[in-house]
Amino acid sequence: MNNMKQFKQMFIAQLKLTFREKQSWFWGIFFPVILMSIFMVIFSGSTEDDFSASVAIIDENPNTTSEMFHNQLKQIPVLEMETSDPVSREEADELIKNQDVHAAIILPESADATSIHLIVNKENEQDMTTQALSGILEQFIQQANLYAVGATPKYELQFEFITSGSNELSYTDFLLTGMIALAIAQGGMFGMVDLVELRRKGVIKRLRMTPANMNLFGLSDMVMRLLFSVVQIILLSFIGVFIFGANLYINFPSLVIVFLLGSLSFNALGYFFSSFSKTSEAYMGVANIASFIMMFLSGVFFPIETMPEWIQPISNILPLTYFVEGLRESMIYSTNVFSGTLWSGIAIMILWGVITFIIGSWLYKRGSIISTR
């Protein structure tokens, strides 16, 4: 039998195995679609222009300074006053405890007072609204200080965004590429479960005793998984762009390189899991743990920079971190294929793939030797 005909038959067999493997379809297709849809429904459309915060004003001892501050605070468009008139401290505390307002602002109690107090719920101390309110009031106080000493602001900060596509990149764009990377990674990590069953049933051992070319067997499996990953990219991109309004600015040479090397690396990781798993349940357990860790620590849903500092070193060694970054660079920022940053991430992915494949191959070979003794 010539190699082409043998490869064709093996590829068809791999295709049938993939269609029969419901777990691979769930983790590779349905789970990412469901998860992406949930996050996009929750977070899509939440831009900085839509930000607003409800506040209560406390002015128990009205004076010229507090009146001036109150009038100026009313001019800040993102601050929504709970009531047109100031409230008492007790009323403000009750509003905050019941989370009817995001915060309360205590105005100076005398014309000579020099401080403004911001009161927030302890449970919301670290959330984005509290941080934004703090920044707004800091800037407000700086402007008031300049006004008090009669100084005219001389310098100002202006933001400028540069990208090959739209000037505004939403969370939808960020999440879409993260979910594509996660789907492909899970397809590789969960997709090798059939190897465990084939080995457990002795199919691989019997194949070795036939004229079948095992290299073609491995190649057909790899091609099948790459095609499966292509389906994932197309499906998720279609949903993200046409249903949730994501924007993609693709550099195709960069995307092809990141996609191929990333897919192969995670296939190698799945191959490694299958090399020491005795049952499909054990394999799925290991794959689930690895997927869970990387899902939340690799910048799929939120930027790594926003994570606690002690977690970031862990994120920086995970292969999915660099696959996510590579896909964002090639699909959102249209990064050139010759970019050094792009290739540094690719190198770490390749390292993971090579090491796990070598260890997996050694474990398979060792298992074969032991079984023949």
Q: What pLDDT is stored for residue 226 in this prediction?
A: 80
Mean local confidence (pLDDT), 232-249: 86
Residue 322 reports pLDDT greater than 90: yes
Going by the DSSP 8-state scheme, the letter that residue 30 receives in this structure is I
Q: Please, which residues bridge with residue 313 across strands? A: none
More confident residue, 139 or 273: 273
Give DSSP secondary structure letters for 320-362: HHHHHHHHHHHHTS---TT-HHHHHHHHHHHHHHHHHHHHHHH
pLDDT at residue 373 in the model: 44
What spatial distance separates the first Cα and last Cα of the chain, rounded to whole Å? Answer: 32
Buried b (16+ CB within 10 A) or exposed e, 156-174: eeeeeeeeeeeeebbbbbb
- Residue 213 pLDDT: 59
CATH number for the domain whose boundaries are 50-148: 3.40.190
What is the arithmetic mean of pLDDT over 218-233? 76
Q: Where are the domains of the chain?
A: 3-44+168-372, 50-148
pTM of the model: 0.66
Region 292-303 average pLDDT: 88
Distance CA 108, CA 64 (A): 10
Residue pair 92/119 in contact by the 8 Å Cβ criterion: yes
CB atoms within 10 A of CB 44: 18
Please state the rounded mean pLDDT for residues 202-227: 67
pLDDT at 368 over 70: no
- Note the Cα 46 to chain centre separation in Å: 16
Phi, psi dihedral angles at 104 (to 5 degrees): -130, 145
How many whole angstroms separate alpha carbon 46 and alpha carbon 48? 7
Residue 320 has pLDDT above 60, yes or no: yes
Tens digit of each residue's pLDDT (9 = 90 or more) over 8-42? 766 676 666 666 666 666 666 777 778 778 877 77
* Mean pLDDT, the chain, whole residue set: 78
Find all residues with CB under 8 Å of 345, minimum gap 6, and list them.
321, 322, 323, 325, 326, 329
